[in-house]
Amino acid sequence: MADKSPLFQRRTAGVLLHPTSLPCSESCWGKNSKNAFGTLGKDAYYFIDLIAQAGLTIWQMLPTGPTQADMSPYQSISAHAGNPNLISLDWLLEKGWINAEDVQLVGEQSLGDAHQQCALSFFKYLESDKGTETRELFQTFCSQQHYWLDDFALFCALRSEFKGASWVSWPKELRAHDQAALKKSREQLKVKIDFVLFEQFAFFTQWQALKKYANQKGIYLFGDMPIFVGHDSADVWAQQHYFQLDEEGNPLTVAGVPPDYFSETGQHWGNPHYAWDAMQADGFQWWLARLRTQLQLFDLIRIDHFRGFEAYWEIPGNSHDARLGKWVKAPGEAFLKACFDAYPGLPLVAENLGVITDEVEALRNQFELPGMLVLQFAFDGNTNNPHLPHNHTRSDVIYTGTHDNDTTVGWYDTLSDANRQQLKQYCFNSTDDVPWLLIEAALASVGRMAIIPMQDFLELDGGHRMNMPGTTDKNWVWTFSWDQVEPTLADRIRQLLRAYHRVEQH
């Protein structure tokens, strides 16, 4: 079904880069800000120009929801909302939505404080004669997104009121979602709620403008939808009956994976597991709403940890040892049927890495979902390894590495001499250096879509990796700079894409 998408009807190539990893040239950040990450501002548009010039047609990224303090995109406080840290303040100034005199430079104050100032300036603008059209757009946005936005805005306001404390520690009537208590809170916390509404309106408006620009350039946005949501999130708080929780709201079971390639002791993610019976009883409405939002943002969606729809690793809620978990069956077939019935032609890609069984692959193939293959996993001496190019199929999406892998240069540095020799021999004893040896192997693959991490295009070493699974230090903070982009990079990429028929010939 998904591989019948127009994006899989021809050979294409793309780049993997999270928007936070873009350079930040925002004037509002201040020249000396040490916390400057990429935004949806001008650097995002420059990046689209660069990849369009190179002939790439896919921009893949990580989940774009608001994060916790550790910045992990996979522990968001909302399955729907956008990350307000991606908002471009320069864009707001250029649109006239805020007044420059109302906002101090970020770096001299926190980003949150700067957004507070922006919100005050924005609502002042809405009340002016110049703000009439924007006011109507704002009201329409709030109305169209109410199915998630109302709960999310209140959740954030309450979270702020209780100094960031988890919702399980809130007063009982709020923890239990008592309607009278919620109504009172909406009245008392209107200013904080309006602040959240402003941030989400700014994010979604900027996103749609960027997406339109990308699509006009022939670039499609490839998003990432984590299978699980964070426990301390608006979704779990507002719809507790969909999750395996005790009477106090604490998880009875949590998600993770057993020991695998990435971790000898497994991974303990801590996300609460779904109450699949409750979800199936109403036709998976929670998931259909989630997909509705994702389809507004992306042209193609990767389902993270797809294998969890066939069976998931269930760890006791009171344990921090992932090895104590067990596999539990999930209603994957019924779930996917409901998704494709609601959204025919749903453009999904299955993340099928890790401990994958025949049952998982049968479910993926039943719905014709493209899977993922990673060349860094290929060269272990086993000629039957599915990641080796001669075992690829047209419906596979081919990667040199992912955000969880080392950069290809970093990976190569750790290879044994025997594995290095296998790589060179497999690639016809090419004299090309890594990472271009692996990049070319990915582009030469029969797989219709090939995705290359930006770090590999920039030939960066392991000090530039995005994430190291099983660790919490220095993840999710990598950014590149424009001076790392060689003037000849776009032409070099385009020449390879022409050679392997991944760019339209003119």
Catalytic choice (90, 333, 361, 404): 404
Strand order in the sheet with 12-16: 348-350, 300-303, 220-225, 58-60, 12-16, 449-453, 397-399, 372-374
> For strand 372-374 and strand 12-16, is the pairing parallel, antiparallel, or unpaired?
unpaired
Nearest to 173 by CA among 237, 85, 218, 128: 237
User: What CATH homologous superfamily does 2-230+283-298+332-357 map to?
Assistant: Glycosidases (3.20.20.80)
Catalytic choice (235, 304, 406, 456): 304
Compute the average pLDDT of residues 39-55.
Answer: 98
Model pTM?
Answer: 0.96
Catalytic site includes residue 173: no
Cβ density class 8-41: b for 16+ within 10 Å, e for less: beebbbbbbbbbbbbbbbbebbbeebeebbbbbb
In terms of C-beta distances under 8 Å and separation of at least 24 residues, what long-range contacts does 463-469 make, across chains too? 463/410, 464/407, 464/410, 465/405, 465/406, 465/407, 465/410, 466/18, 466/21, 466/62, 466/403, 466/404, 467/403, 467/404, 468/404, 469/262, 469/263, 469/267, 469/404
In sequence order, the β-bridge partners of residue 60 are 16, 222
Domain ranges of the chain: 2-230+283-298+332-357
pLDDT of 32 over the 60 cut: no
Binning pLDDT at 50, 70 and 90, where does residue 431 land? confident
Token duo for residue 321: 């040892």
Catalytic site includes residue 404: yes
pLDDT tens digits, one per residue of 331-352: 999 999 999 999 999 999 999 9
Contact partners, residue 415, CB within 8 Å, separation at least 6: 379, 423
Average model confidence (pLDDT) across the chain: 94
Catalytic site includes residue 333: no
Cα separation, 196 vs 155, in Å, equals 10
pLDDT tens digits, one per residue of 370-414: 999 999 999 998 999 999 999 999 999 999 999 999 999 999 999
Nearest to 335 by CA among 363, 357, 298: 363
Catalytic choice (26, 151, 351, 406): 351
Binning pLDDT at 50, 70 and 90, where does residue 1 land? low
274 by DSSP, 3-state: which? strand
pLDDT at 3: 54
The owner of tokens 């392997």 is: 500
pLDDT of 248 over the 80 cut: yes
Cα separation, 84 vs 119, in Å, equals 12
Cα separation, 436 vs 408, in Å, equals 9
Compute the average pLDDT of residues 153-178.
Answer: 97
pLDDT of 2 over the 60 cut: no
pLDDT of 104 over the 90 cut: no
Binning pLDDT at 50, 70 and 90, where does residue 506 land? low
HEC states along 424-491? HHHCCCCCCCCCHHHHHHHHHCCCCEEEEEHHHHCCCCHHHCCCCCCCCCCCCCCCCCHHHCCCCHHH
pLDDT at 69: 86
pLDDT tens digits, one per residue of 259-309: 877 688 898 999 999 999 999 999 999 999 999 999 999 999 999 999 999
Cα separation, 502 vs 154, in Å, equals 46
Compute the average pLDDT of residues 465-471.
Answer: 88
